[in-house]
């Protein structure tokens, strides 16, 4: 396996991983009127790609997970778009990606990492970030409940 920094040519495969993983996970918890599928278009993801650095977890030539690091400002960054293909979940892929991003953030001199928008009903994501040492520091209302904002000091 390897984790590497994505290039523009990887946008299509990142889009595939995000849209497949998102559909399977969030269809169950987002009311139909708010559920978007696919969650991103190629153009939307291309815009995100300009704002942050994406990483890909590759297993035997297959891209099975993605995650991004966004530098927000002085000492602060965000972990964004952590998505693992459903059939590869629960095998440590997500943990490896976030651990890799934390090391990268440390190299960049970031002191704090945030995870914005963790849906209150996404129990898997709440367990995932809690196990990695993130703590909920804020919550914000949205039409179908609220999102947690997690944070960790590096
Ligand atoms: C969240 C996600 C990225 C985790 O990736 P993963 O590779 O499956 O995670 P790991 O195997 O590294 O799991 C680490 C820990 O997270 C927690 N966890 C992961 N999936 C879980 C689940 N379905 N239910 C409960 N806890 C879960 C567990 O504590 C797990 O440790 P354990 O397996 O020893 O019990 C993955 O579930 C996913 O892609 N979900 C859909 C997209 C998403 O919600 N992303 C987060 C957006 S904020």
Give me the mean pLDDT over the 7-22 stretch: 98
pLDDT of residue 76: 98
Protein residue with least CA distance to atom 28, ligand 1:
128
Q: Which long-range contacts (CB under 8 A, 24 or more apart) does 26-35 make?
A: 26/119, 26/122, 29/119, 29/121, 29/122, 30/119, 30/144, 31/143, 31/144, 34/143, 34/144
pLDDT of residue 52: 98
Of ligand 1's atoms, which has the minimum distance to the CA of residue 117? 48
pLDDT-above-90 percentage for the chain:
99
What residues are in contact with ligand 1 under a 6 Å CB criterion? 21, 25, 82-84, 89-95, 118, 122, 124-125, 127-128, 131
Protein residue with least CA distance to atom 9, ligand 1:
94
pTM of the predicted protein model: 0.98
Protein residue with least CA distance to atom 43, ligand 1:
83
Give me the mean pLDDT over the 101-120 stretch: 98
């Amino acid at each position: 396996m390897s984790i590497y920094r994505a290039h523009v040519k990887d946008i299509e495969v990142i889009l595939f991983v995000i849209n497949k993983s998102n559909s399977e996970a969030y269809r169950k918890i987002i009311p139909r009127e708010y559920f978007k599928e696919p969650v991103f278009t190629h153009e939307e993801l291309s815009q995100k790609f300009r704002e942050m650095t994406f990483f890909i977890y590759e297993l035997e030539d297959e891209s099975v997970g993605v995650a991004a690091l966004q530098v927000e400002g002085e000492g602060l960054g965000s972990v964004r778009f952590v998505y693992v293909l459903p059939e590869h979940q629960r095998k440590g892929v997500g943990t490896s990606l976030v651990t890799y991003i934390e090391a990268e953030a440390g190299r960049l001199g970031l002191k704090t990492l945030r995870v914005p928008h963790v849906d209150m009903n996404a129990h898997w994501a709440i367990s995932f970030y809690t196990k990695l040492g993130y703590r909920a520091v804020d919550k914000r209302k949205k039409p179908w409940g609220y999102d947690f904002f997690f944070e960790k000091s590096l």
